Structure 1
Amino acid sequence: MTEPATSTSSLPSDSVSKLSLSPSAKMTTTNEITLSVVPDWSLLPVELLHIISKNLDDCFDALHARSVCTLWRSIFPFPSHLSRLSYSLPTLDNKGSWSLERIPLFLFRPRALAASEYFLGGIRRYEEPEEEEELPSPIQCSVKVKIPESDPKLMKMNDCQIFPLGHQYRMIGCNAKEYRNVVVLPLNQEGGGDFVVLLNFTKVLLVYRSTEMRWRRLHTQPFTTATCEELFTFRGKFYAIFISGDVFAFDPHFLGLTTLKPLELPNCGSCNDLVQSGDDELFLVEKIIPRNDDVLDFNRLALRVCRLDVEAGQWVVVTDIGDRVFIIGEFGSVSCSAKEFPEGCGVSGNSILYTHKPWNETYFYKYGVDTGREEDDLNCWWYSRENLVTILSTYPVVALRVERYVYFFYLQHIFFC
């Protein structure tokens, strides 16, 4: 969103003349009167509002505009990108129902905060009655934030850089401990109409077709008996990655299964993650753990990154992911561009960050870092100790701090009541 102007107001003169003044005025010691001008935004011409509505930078600009006054809410439609689409699906035993919801993901970076303040939380259009707070307009569109061992706070979103990160699906009401994640593919490439759902129940994959309205088990034997770690959709296919490191691709009709075997890693252990970048690229990030006398040496853990060559159906090793930053966590992975971050903020492109470590301090991985050990291969991604990353919270969202000056948090759930 464009920074608010600090120069003379550009409101039409006939509207400015109608702006209300604060009922109170302060008298200075030199008998000067200071008046606080409170604009009545509802007096702006409707024609001007329609022009503004067509020139907003992003969906959160529309939210900011809708929070100004009642009239503006009727002019600026609620952003469709922020709508939480919901489908009612039967439970596995057909005795109840679950709600399949499409949840938009964003990364928020507060522009300027005191060194001791860090924020995360869900965004709500309004609070529950018992939690309602009177907020001054136009900052009613705010983030309610909560970090463990701290009091909830409110942060204005127009003080943040906001980066859309796509969306995830969640099966609301499914509390089974076996449930891991769920993905959806429309059978109509234009969207709408029939769809297929793939549900990950750890050791079991289940398929739901909207045309059949019931669940079926997807058999992955004899290909693998391992636990499924994560599901993705990419270019009209389902992708499943297993704890064994195997990756499989399924077409939405499940007429064929394609094995995407990672490249060999001699004398090493590994565990893998998939990261999707936009609609065009799918990456495999492999944690490589060398063996020393048949014992895994976690002190020398490195990464290898491969890009999927869709036409050839194989992984291709890459040494550069451009200006992208991969953020990999317990509840999935995202890719974002580092170009919009300011210089010196501690976040730069061509880097990878894991947020679900057993400790709360970590670093970005960079390619070709000299570790000082002769036995380490420079053609890998290693810890870069340029910027310390402190993980402040991992659930229900991830909050982190980079060095002393820049703080951002990745919102995993966006709540619109």
Structure 2
Amino acid sequence: MERSVPWPELPTELWAMIGRKLDTHMDVDRFRSVCSSWRSLIPPVPAFKIRIGGTLIERMVYLLERPPWSLEDSQCSPSREGWLIKVAGKATEDEDLSGQGKFQLFNPLSSLPILFEDGTFPKVLCPMDYRVTDIFSELYLIGGYGQSYEAKKVVILRDSPGTALEETLVVGIFGKGKLKYWKHQDEDWNALDDPNCQYDDVIAYKRQFYVVDRFGIVSWIDPSFKIVQFSPRVCGDGRVGDRKHLVESGGDLYVVDRYFDEEDKRCGMAAMDTANFKVYRLNQEWGKWDEIRDLGEVALFLGDYSSFSVMLKGFNGCKGNCIYFTDCRDRRVRVFDMPDRSIKKALCSPDHLRILWPPPAWIAPNGFVLSPCSRKELIF
């Protein structure tokens, strides 16, 4: 006959095994915060930093929500409120990007830092004060040398946040869509695949690397770093879009095809306005791509160095069934509405923007003042 065992009586070895299998940074932090004995079982997640043709650093995207128990009025609406933030540590050991602490806030859709005047924004954001959800882990290469080291996207493959560097694999898209990879003890990036191929995006999905090229063909990268075609073109015989994004949502893999303005392309504009999107979801049973016209309560966010999804059921301050992105021409955040296929500036629809900006009153109850640098560069 089976009997239940109170968790304090479980073997320490079992808790250590569980701790090493946690999926996210926040899970590790919560595990270690339970008690001193648990804290001693696993180390904190180290700052991910690799020096290969520059410094590769990790930035985390979190969704902060005001927990129900913090509401002053118990009769308040049960609707959820949240704020998306991107957080990174110092760029170097002797550099403090914020001038105020160990971490820096960034625009969730770009690499632009958010700087505040002294004393106008909380110096500490305690995860215990909010409901915190890990959304995405973004890698960013800084200080690279030469045109070929301008990384457009870098992704990492590892089993857990605490995976040893020796077991870590990294793939990036550089220059004009060229794939490169790095593994432990490599002194530099290694070229991957045919140099004539051009890739738009790469993602770590179900513990494998997947890439999509300019023609909408999705491939996966095998353990020997060979490119293996995974599926036919996402758009079949239709017109191919101009830029493709890979996004995971609810365990499914999506390709978001972006179409630029035809007049801009005819005029040879260097930076073009976005005119339309098409969204495709991988049909894993049949190995084909199904066009999706309704995302339900999910919103897709297409950033400069990462793309991610957020479930917005019950949310105020952000609308589902939309794509949030920065346009190539003026770098402002825009919203593509899936039902009516319209594109509008996020600033023109505050109900769409509140999850991004400004910080809610329960984060900065006394208000905030942006630094001159942020006022110039922070574009929503």
- TM-score higher than 0.5 here? yes
Q: Is the 8 A contact 2:60 2:88 kept in 1?
A: no
Question: Which of the numbers 170, 188, 197 marks the counterpart of 1:197?
Answer: 170
Tell me how far apart the structure 2 counterparts of residues 299 and 198 of structure 1 sit (CA, whole Å).
Answer: 29
Instruction: Provide the rounded CA distance (Å) in 1 between the counterparts of 2:159 and 2:88.
Output: 31
Counterpart for residue 272 of structure 1: 244
Match for residue 86 of structure 1 among 48, 70, 86: 48
Which entry has the higher C-alpha Rg, 1 or 2?
1
1:182 corresponds in structure 2 to 154
Give the paired residue count.
Answer: 305
Question: Which structure 1 residue ranges, 5 or more long, are not aligned?
Answer: 1-57, 93-97, 113-117, 134-140, 370-380, 393-397, 409-417
Deviations 1:390-416 (A, max 9, x none): 999xxxxx95349x99999xxxxxxxx
Q: Identify the residue that residue 400 of structure 1 maps to in structure 2.
A: 357
Q: Which residue of 2 aligns with 1:216?
A: 190
TM-score normalised by structure 2 residue count: 0.58
SS at match of 1:285: strand
What are the equivalent positions in structure 2 for 1:103-142 lying under 5 Å apart? 103-108=59-64, 122=87
Aligned partners of 1:285 and 1:305 also within 8 Å: yes
Contact 1:360 1:391 in 2 (8 A): no
Cα distance in 2, alignment partners of residues 144 and 212 from structure 1: 31
CA distance in 2, matches of 1:310, 1:284: 14
1:309 paired residue among 269, 273, 283: 283
Deviations 1:139-187 (A, max 9, x none): xx99879745754621644554432113233446545553313223359
Identity of matched residues, %: 18
Q: For the structure 1 residues 268 and 322, does the alpha-carbon distance in structure 2 shift closer, same or farther, using more than 3 Å as the test? A: same
Match of 1:77 among 15, 39, 55: 39
Q: Which moved more, 1:331-340 or 1:174-183?
A: 174-183
Corresponding residue to 2:301 among 312, 324, 327: 327
Aligned positions of 1:16-415 closer than 5 A: 74=36, 77=39, 83-84=45-46, 86=48, 88=50, 91=52, 100-108=56-64, 122=87, 147=114, 150-151=117-118, 153-154=121-122, 156-157=125-126, 160-171=130-141, 174=144, 176-177=146-147, 178-180=149-151, 181-186=153-158, 194-203=167-176, 204-210=178-184, 215-221=189-195, 224=197, 226=198, 228-242=199-213, 245-258=216-229, 260-264=232-236, 270-278=242-250, 280-289=251-260, 301-310=275-284, 312-339=286-313, 341=315, 345-356=316-327, 358-359=329-330, 363-369=334-340, 381-383=341-343, 388-389=349-350, 399-401=356-358
User: How far apart are the structure 2 equivalents of 1:358 and 1:390?
Assistant: 24
CA RMSD of superposed structures (Å): 5.4
Deviation, 1:263, is 0.7
8 A contact 1:185–1:252 mirrored in 2: no
How far apart, in 2, do the equivalents of 1:367 and 1:187 lie? 34
Distance 1:406 1:283, change over 3 A: farther
> How far apart, in 1, do the equivalents of 2:146 and 2:209 lie?
23
Decide whether the 8 Å contact of 1:346 with 1:406 is kept in 2.
no
Match in the other structure for 1:10:
none
Q: How far apart, in 1, do the equivalents of 2:233 and 2:246 lie?
A: 13
Quote the Cα distance in structure 1 between the aligned partners of 2:84 and 2:190. Answer: 42
Distance in 2 of aligned mates of 1:81 and 1:179: 33
Q: TM-score when scaled to structure 1? A: 0.54
Q: Which moved more, 1:302-311 or 1:174-183?
A: 174-183
Deviations 1:10-69 (A, max 9, x none): xxxxxxxxxxxxxxxxxxxxxxxxxxxxxxxxxxxxxxxxxxxxxxxx9769969999xx
**Which structure's relative contact order is higher, taking Cα pairs within 8 Å and 6+ residues apart?**
2
Aligned with 1:153: secondary structure? coil
User: Retained in 1: the 8 A contact 2:155–2:170?
Assistant: yes
Judge conservation of contact 1:86–1:99 (CA < 8 Å) in 2: no
Deviation at 1:230, TM superposition (A): 2.8
**Per-residue deviation at 1:305?**
0.9
Unmatched tracts of structure 2, length 5 or more: 1-23, 71-82, 107-112, 365-380
Query: What's the offset of the Cα at 1:307?
Result: 0.5
CA contact (8 A) 2:61 2:86 kept: no
Summarize the Cα distance change of 1:363–1:170 in structure 2 as closer, same or farther, 3 Å threshold.
closer
Q: Which amino acid aligns with 1:241?
A: V
Letter in 1 for 2:39: P
Q: Secondary structure at the match of 2:39?
A: coil
SS at match of 1:77: helix
More strand by share: 1
User: Quick one: distance in 1 between partners of 2:361 and 2:100?
Assistant: 33
